[in-house]
């Protein structure tokens, strides 16, 4: 039998989706599941985006430019300017989701065997994207006790080698909800300039900053224009996860020219989804005002509920819509599966994402879960009670 590649065999499973078969089996048994495992907002997609697809008069569903429609890129540039990010449409390549933008970025600046440094825990698919490009992830651990703040810069410098090509951050963070301060972004800017590295910033949750805090983009650090690459997406911003439209943004012309080769190889991003994304940019700011109010209320409901459970620790998120909770269990992976296979409370259970999959360091995060607070408050309250009662009877 022909052998599967080493790369394919080492490709990690998604901690977010690997428990789906157990959830499907539970649903067949009549169990209602509260999905806390995946960042799929229940917020309604802006009608303008949906209407752009419903009401178009396209006769031929043709390719777009490989970089995406110029009209969409022009509107994106205007959107960024409103957010104090001064770029032009030529600095933007539209991608099939933020995931493809990350693949373009890694493919453009790294070679097999190179290293990228990432504060962990981090979005699990960064591991997968690195594996796909033959890269080694070098983690720098942030901790729940410190709220998952940026680790000391000295910890980064210890890990920099001749193979290091980039530092990758997610701001605000998935899975932690941590929002980097202006000072932390400035520290990273000094570091990448000193060591001549790239700084890749996944900023897809930009709008979701809470408690009066502001998001600080790496693109505002003009002294490192040649070092910065921003990843973005409409998925979370406009509750359009199924649109699969993102972009890679950089003022480094060589990066964009190289990423363009990858974009040409996949031909073009999807046409209908670009139409929807372009229309979504007309969404008024009041949309985000209400959405942020909803998420803050949900966050507070979830965090206070989790903190009331004996033995549970949680870091209060400052942005995005995720938190990491530490449970009084030895193996959260087993606990998450047990919730789906063996436990219910009045015919209901909860699905969480084991957090070990958001680390690349062995043996870290084994008793942690990531929870996405994308459900209505009453459902979050029910989910907390399910976890509370489950922990009373669960045995490792």
> Taking 80 as the threshold, does the pLDDT of residue 16 lie above it?
no
CB 384 within 8 A of CB 314: no
Q: What is the pLDDT of residues 186-209, one digit of tens each?
A: 999 999 999 999 999 999 999 999
> Taking 90 as the threshold, does the pLDDT of residue 14 lie above it?
no
- Residue 374's pLDDT band (boundaries 50, 70, 90)? very high
pLDDT above 90 covers a percentage of the chain that reads 93
User: Which pair of structure tokens corresponds to residue 81?
Assistant: 């300017």
Q: What is the pTM of this model?
A: 0.96
Mean pLDDT to the nearest integer, 252-276: 97
Q: What is the pLDDT of residues 28-43, one digit of tens each?
A: 999 999 999 989 888 9
- Residue 17's pLDDT band (boundaries 50, 70, 90)? confident
pLDDT for 12 equals 85
Taking alpha carbons only, the member of 343, 314, 341, 316 closest to residue 328 is 314
Cα separation of 173 and 202, whole Å? 9
Mean pLDDT to the nearest integer, 354-373: 95
The mean pLDDT of the chain is: 96
Longest dimension (CA), the chain: 61
pLDDT for 28 equals 97
Cα separation of 77 and 52, whole Å? 20
Taking alpha carbons only, the member of 352, 347, 337, 281 closest to residue 21 is 337
How far is residue 288 from each of residues 45, 89, 114, 334, measured CA to CA in Å? 12, 24, 39, 37
Mean pLDDT to the nearest integer, 382-395: 97
Q: What is the pLDDT of residues 195-253, one digit of tens each?
A: 999 999 999 999 999 999 999 999 999 999 999 999 999 999 999 999 999 999 999 99
Cα separation of 246 and 205, whole Å? 12
Roughly what angle, to the nearest 10 degrees, separates helices 97-109 and 125-132? 40
> Taking 80 as the threshold, does the pLDDT of residue 15 lie above it?
no
Roughly what angle, to the nearest 10 degrees, separates helices 253-265 and 97-109? 120
> Taking 80 as the threshold, does the pLDDT of residue 169 lie above it?
yes
Q: Which helix (H) or strand (E) holds 379?
A: helix 377-393
CB 98 within 8 A of CB 237: no
Helices (H) and strands (E) in the chain, counts: 13, 13
> Taking 90 as the threshold, does the pLDDT of residue 180 lie above it?
yes
Cα separation of 370 and 317, whole Å? 12
Lowest mean pLDDT among 10-14, 57-61, 97-101, 117-121: 10-14
Cα separation of 301 and 96, whole Å? 34
> Taking 80 as the threshold, does the pLDDT of residue 271 lie above it?
yes
Q: What is the pLDDT of residues 61-114, one digit of tens each?
A: 999 999 999 999 999 999 999 999 999 999 999 999 999 999 999 999 999 999
Cα separation of 389 and 396, whole Å? 15
Torsion of CA 353, 354, 358, 361, to 10 degrees: 180
Q: What is the pLDDT of residues 279-306, one digit of tens each?
A: 999 999 899 999 999 999 999 999 999 9
pLDDT for 396 equals 82
> Taking 90 as the threshold, does the pLDDT of residue 145 lie above it?
yes
Q: What is the pLDDT of residues 324-333, one digit of tens each?
A: 999 999 999 9
Cα separation of 246 and 134, whole Å? 23
**Neighbouring C-beta atoms of residue 307, cutoff 10 Å:** 13
Domains in the chain, ordered, with CATH?
6-44+286-393 (3.90.1150.10), 48-280 (3.40.640.10)
pLDDT for 18 equals 84
Taking alpha carbons only, the member of 337, 274, 257, 258 closest to residue 97 is 274
> Taking 90 as the threshold, does the pLDDT of residue 7 lie above it?
no
pLDDT for 211 equals 96
β-bridge mates for residue 322, sequence order: 372
> Tell me, what DSSP letter sits at residue 92?
E
């Amino acid at each position: 039998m022909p052998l599967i590649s080493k790369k394919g065999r080492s490709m990690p499973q998604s901690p977010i989706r690997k428990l789906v078969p157990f959830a499907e089996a539970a649903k067949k048994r009549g169990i209602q599941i509260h999905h806390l495992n995946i960042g799929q907002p229940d917020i309604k997609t802006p009608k303008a985006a949906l209407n752009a697809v419903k009401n178009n008069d396209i006769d031929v569903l043709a390719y777009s430019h490989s970089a995406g429609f110029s009209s969409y890129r022009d509107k994106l540039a205007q959107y960024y300017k409103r957010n104090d990010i001064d770029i032009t449409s030529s600095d933007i390549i539209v991608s099939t989701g933020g995931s493809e933008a990350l693949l373009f970025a890694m493919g453009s600046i790294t070679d097999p065997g190179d290293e990228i440094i990432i504060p962990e825990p981090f979005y699990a698919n960064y591991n997968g994207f690195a594996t796909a490009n033959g890269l080694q992830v070098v983690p720098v651990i942030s901790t729940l006790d410190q709220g998952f703040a940026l680790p000391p810069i000295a910890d980064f410098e210890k890990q920099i080698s001749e193979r290091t090509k980039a530092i990758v951050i997610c701001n605000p963070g998935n899975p932690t909800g941590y929002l980097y301060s202006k000072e932390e972004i400035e520290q990273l800017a000094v570091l990448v300039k000193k060591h001549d590295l790239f700084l890749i910033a996944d900023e897809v949750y930009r709008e979701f900053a809470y408690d009066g805090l502001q998001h600080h983009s790496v693109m505002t650090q003009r002294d490192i224009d040649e070092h910065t690459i921003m990843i973005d997406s409409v998925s979370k911003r406009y509750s359009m996860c199924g649109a699969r439209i993102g972009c890679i943004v950089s003022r480094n012309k060589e990066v964009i020219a190289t990423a363009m080769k990858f974009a040409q190889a996949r031909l073009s991003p999807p046409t209908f989804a670009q139409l929807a994304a372009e229309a979504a940019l007309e969404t008024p700011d009041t949309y985000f005002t209400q959405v942020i109010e909803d998420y803050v209320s949900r966050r507070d409901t979830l965090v206070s509920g989790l903190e009331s459970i004996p033995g549970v620790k949680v870091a209060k998120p400052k942005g995005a819509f995720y938190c990491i909770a530490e449970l009084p269990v030895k193996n959260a992976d087993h606990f998450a599966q047990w919730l789906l296979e063996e436990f219910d409370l009045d015919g209901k259970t909860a699905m969480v994402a084991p957090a070990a999959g958001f680390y690349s360091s062995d043996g870290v995060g084994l008793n942690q879960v990531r929870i996405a607070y994308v459900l209505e408050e009453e459902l979050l309250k029910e989910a907390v009670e399910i976890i509370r009662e489950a922990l009373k009877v669960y045995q490792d």
